[in-house]
Amino acid sequence: MDSGGFFKSNLINVAKMIRKIAKDDPRQVIHSLKVGLALTLVSLFYYLRPLYKSFEDAGMWAIFTVIVVLEFTVGGTLSKGLNRGCVTLLAGALGVGGQHLATVPFFFFQKQ
């Protein structure tokens, strides 16, 4: 079988599999389309040069956020997003506290 026929048969098999999944639970197909659309839109921030220059490496972190946070249900997504936001604030506070401790002179270690 040539490569064109092999590609066509694989494409037909994938379409049949998607059709079977869509029949069993259409929410899975809708979720995968939402994830794909979200990743496409967020990837534009990373790949378009004018946007990349204004956001720099933050565009890649936005892609990771979509991958990590987006869940099958709206409640799951909101819960994960809220948890991620709280942990980000906590990590920022710990980083500021660590930097403060590193720069404050330790008077009790100095010779009297």
**Domain identity same for 43 and 32:** yes
Question: Cα separation of 99 and 85, whole Å?
Answer: 21
| pLDDT, tens digit (0-9, with 9 covering 90-100), for 12-41 | 898 898 888 888 888 888 888 888 898 888
Q: Which of 62, 73, 74 is nearest to 38 (CA)?
A: 62
Confidence label for 63 from pLDDT (cuts 50, 70 and 90): confident
Confidence label for 94 from pLDDT (cuts 50, 70 and 90): very high
Task: Indicate whether 96 pLDDT > 90.
Answer: yes
Higher-scoring residue by pLDDT: 10, 104: 10
Domain count, the chain: 2
**Domain identity same for 34 and 57:** yes
Q: Is residue 109 part of a domain?
A: no
Q: Is residue 77 part of a domain?
A: yes
Range of the domain at 92: 73-102
Q: Is residue 108 part of a domain?
A: no
Backbone φ and ψ of 3, nearest 5°: -65, -30
Q: What is the mean pLDDT of residues 75-83?
A: 87
